[in-house]
Amino acid sequence: MFFRRDEMSVDALLGAMQTWAGLTELCIGVLCVLFGWRLSREVYRRYFADNPARYDHFLPYAGLRLIMPLSAEALLLLFALVWGVMLHHRPHVLLAFSATLFWLGLIRLLTAVVREILPRGRFERRTEHILASLSWLAFVTWAIQLDDFAVEWMESISFRVGKVQLDLSMVLGALLWVSVIMFVALWVSRLVERRLMRLNELDLSLRLVFSKLARTVLMVTAVLIALPIVGIDLTVLSVFGGALGVGLGFGLQKIASSYISGFIILLDRSIRIGDRLTIGDRVGNVTKITSRFVVLKSGDGSEALIPNETMIASTVINQSYSDSKIWSSVKVDVAYDTDLELALRLLEEAARQPRVVDGPKGFVTLFGASGITLEVGFWVADPENGFLGLKSDIHMAIWRLFREHGVQMPFPQMEVSVKRLPGGGEA
């Protein structure tokens, strides 16, 4: 009951559909495809329409994409088996449907793997479209028996590289093998990274280090496996290593320095995701640590990409190195006739906000020209959420409490004295 390639020819299919049996097979094939499509839509409506987050995981996404071809394929094979037993007739049209759906399932599985490996965006979508188009082109070429002609044509395009004679088919085959092995390595590294990131008993920095090391080891292993397969001697790596050393000594030293500095940052855990840093004139929270740079997000939403080398070579103020809490304060002036003890209690009461911990404390900091400056200090539990909103709430609470208790805030005052000059005039 397995499909034969000669049954995919246009003449064979047209000849089969000139009979009632062939037309019946065509109708059955269309109905099976419609059933698979309807089943996939129903699964999407029940399990994905109200929870789009499931679409971000590989297994649910791949399963949804494979429901249509697999369910239709199962029905087609069942009908083909029954058809062959009942009529003692080989169902050419049903088997053609079956081969097409089988290839569709492979393409959808391949695009799901690409979606899992590459970052989401335009490049990932274009890669999926290119791979799907090339896969369908290969299937059609094979089905209509043009593959032998294509191979002969590519073998006729030959050239020499040094002492090696190459042709286009060898080059394309090598690229295909290298691409497959590299994609498998990237996929496995992605799975390892996700598994490591779920190990909450390990520090986040260690999880990042192990995931990056795993990806590096897998990529190097993939290269070592791919090179012999495509006929490249591994001894060329010694030449490449020498060239790489020269490159690192010149143009690549900055990149190598940032890469190594990234591992140092993760290993010594001096900087972690969520830390609040001050680097030069930039203040913000660390949102991402890569092999090349650290992402520092400021309170206004802007993100600075700071090279890892800068983090190692310059002074970095980590406001949450040993404790995530950060000290902040609010100043306010009161009149000289104010009950300072009452004003300090009101300031401490106003500063007791949900985000403030360990109890605020009020201080008298300055006897100014127009009034007395008071300051209330407090520890903020979640500095990554910013300070502007919190200070606004505290200022509003101070204004309400001062108005309720009659505490006056002074206006700038200036005392002007009029003096008479010796001649009788005024100055």
Question: What pLDDT digit, counting tens, does each position of 64-99 carry?
Answer: 888 888 888 888 888 877 776 666 667 777 777 888
Percent of the chain with pLDDT over 70: 80
Helix (H, G, I), strand (E, B) or coil at 242: helix
Question: Has residue 281 got a pLDDT over 70?
Answer: yes
Closest CA to 308 of 259, 268, 273, 275: 259
Q: What is the DSSP letter of 119?
A: P
- Report pLDDT for 292: 79
The Cα 363–Cα 232 span in angstroms is: 75
The helix or strand, by DSSP H or E, that contains position 70, with its residue range, turns out to be helix 58-87
Which domains, and CATH codes, for the chain? 5-145 (no CATH), 164-260 (1.10.287), 271-318 (2.30.30.60), 326-405 (3.30.70.100)
Q: 418: helix, coil or strand?
A: coil
Task: Give the pLDDT of residue 291.
Answer: 72
Amino acid present at 132: A
147-161 as b/e: b if 16+ CB within 10 A: eeeebeebeeeeeee
Q: pLDDT tens for residues 166-222? A: 777 777 777 788 778 888 888 888 888 777 777 776 666 667 777 777 887 887 788
pLDDT the model gives residue 397:
92
* Residue 61 to residue 48: CA distance in whole angstroms: 9
**How many CB atoms lie under 10 A from the CB of residue 193?**
17
Q: Which long-range contacts (CB under 8 A, 24 or more apart) does 41-50 make?
A: 43/67
Residue 357 to residue 379: CA distance in whole angstroms = 6
Helix, strand, coil tally for the chain in percent (to 5):
60, 15, 25
Helix ranges (H only) for 269-360 are 308-313, 340-350
Three-state DSSP at 334 gives: strand
Question: In degrees, to the nearest 5, what angle opens at C-alpha 65 toward C-alphas 62 and 66?
Answer: 85
Question: Residue 327, SS3?
Answer: strand
Tokens of 60: 């649910």
| CA-based nearest residue to 147, from 5, 352, 259 | 5
**Cα gap 142→136, rounded to integer Å:** 10
Residue pLDDT, tens place only, 113-134 = 888 777 777 877 888 888 888 8
Q: Which SS3 state, helix, strand or coil, does residue 71 take? A: helix
CB 270 within 8 A of CB 321: yes
Q: What ranges make up the beta strands (E) of 259-389?
A: 276-279, 282-289, 293-297, 303-307, 317-318, 326-334, 356-367, 372-380
Name the strand (E) or helix (H) holding 164.
strand 164-167
Q: What is the pLDDT of residues 324-367, one digit of tens each?
A: 788 889 999 888 888 888 989 999 999 898 888 878 898 999 88
| pLDDT recorded at residue 2 | 53
DSSP H/E element including 159: strand 158-161
Conformation bin of residue 281: beta by default, left when phi > 0, alpha when psi is -120 to 50: alpha
Give mean pLDDT, residues 378-407: 87
Burial of 174 (0-12, 13-18, 19+ CB in 10 A): middle
Residue 19 has pLDDT above 90, yes or no: no
Amino acid (1-letter code) at residue 216: T
Q: Minimal CA–CA distance to 332: which of 373, 377, 370, 363?
A: 373
Over 80: is that where the pLDDT of 11 sits?
Answer: no
Cα 112 from Cα 62, distance rounded (Å): 6
d(CA 279, CA 284): 9
- Rounded Cα distance, 48 and 60, in Å: 9
Most confident stretch, 10-14, 114-118, 229-233, 366-370: 366-370
Q: Count how many residues are written for the chain.
A: 427
358 φ/ψ angles, rounded to the nearest 5 degrees: 65, 15
SS3 426: strand
